[in-house]
Amino acid sequence: MDQWIKLANKALEGESIANNEALSILECPDEDILLLMHASFQIRKRYYGKKVKLNIIVNAKSGLCPENCGYCSQSSISNAPIDTYKMVDKETLLKGAKRANDLNVGTYCIVASGRGPSNKEIDHVVTAVKEIKATYGMKICACLGLLKPEQALRLKEAGVDRYNHNINTSEKNHSNITTSHTYDDRVNTVEMVENVGMSPCSGVIVGMKESKQDIVDMANSLKLLDADSIPVNFLHAIDGTPLEGVNELNPMYCLKVLALFRFVNPTKEIRISGGREVNLRSLQPFGLYAANAIFVGDYLTTSGQEDTEDHKMLVDLGFEVECVEEMKANIAAGK
């Protein structure tokens, strides 16, 4: 029995992965990558079979952000030539929900730039969410920034199922990425979301000059936070941002990162997120042997690949999209 299967069995038995074992995943020799992904799939298969969850984003408010996150084209320190606009109207949010439904996407993600939403913006999102729920019944994830407790409760009561707020990087590396808010600010929002009864979604961006130990720390931090869904983004460095030109990643390393998150968080939804196409490139299909969810369509300010290509990839893998009706049944059952 090879070392990766032994480690997978350890994860399946509910044992924590030791720090040296986690680092060994990131240091797996490239020639052993198929063995590592096979072991990752044993964990993924236990909890998710061969099903893949699809998510889609609507960029509800773009740019105009006062924060100084070094990776972000929407930040106050970015010179990237992006579209900037205030919160879109309700009809645009409903149109996005219809597209999600037409594409058999289970989770519709409403994302807005900024440090955090105003109460007026919360009112707007709440109104749209209620109508989307009444029309389509799909799972809704909101990502609006740092929340106040009363705002979190209003979103929950409106029908928002999940709230995303990424930790982005390790606590140690956080000040190298942004100084306009703290790591604890992010953690507090994730904990607040869980406290009001929404499902916490929190993930990372890999490729921002962090160490391998930083990545292990991220995976363990999300385990402690008990995030139900973990989006793993791979930096797509954008011209005009402080991280312009940073290109530390390659497809093999990205696969090892996905495997690490599956080993450390065996029961959680692991979603291959931003930067999938440009960093995993031709090895994208292998990522789904560790992850069980992807975004389809475009991201916030960068383009994804055609959703038809994503569906072809899943068919070629012999994987099955978790359909909208099944997702609705899971929501009704409280899953």
Does the annotation list 72 as a binding residue? yes
Does the annotation list 69 as a binding residue? yes
Strands of the chain, DSSP E: 51-61, 107-112, 139-143, 162-164, 199-201, 204-206, 229-234, 269-272, 293-295, 320-321
Does the annotation list 65 as a binding residue? yes
Q: What is the dihedral of CA 60, 145, 56, 252, to 10 degrees?
A: 130
269-272 and 229-234: which strand pairing?
parallel
| Closest by CA position to 139, among listed 108, 98, 112 | 108
Does the annotation list 254 as a binding residue? no
Does the annotation list 109 as a binding residue? yes
What the block records as the tokens of 28 is: 């797996």
Interatomic CA distance for residues 68 and 180, integer angstroms: 6
Q: Helix (H) and strand (E) counts for the chain?
A: 14, 10
- Strand, helix or coil for residue 16: coil
Contacts of 9 (CB under 8 A, 6+ apart): 42
Interatomic CA distance for residues 242 and 246, integer angstroms: 9
Q: How many residues does the chain have?
A: 335
Annotated binding-site positions for [4Fe-4S] cluster: 65, 69, 72
Annotated binding-site positions for [2Fe-2S] cluster: 109, 141, 201, 271
Annotated binding-site positions: 65, 69, 72, 109, 141, 201, 271
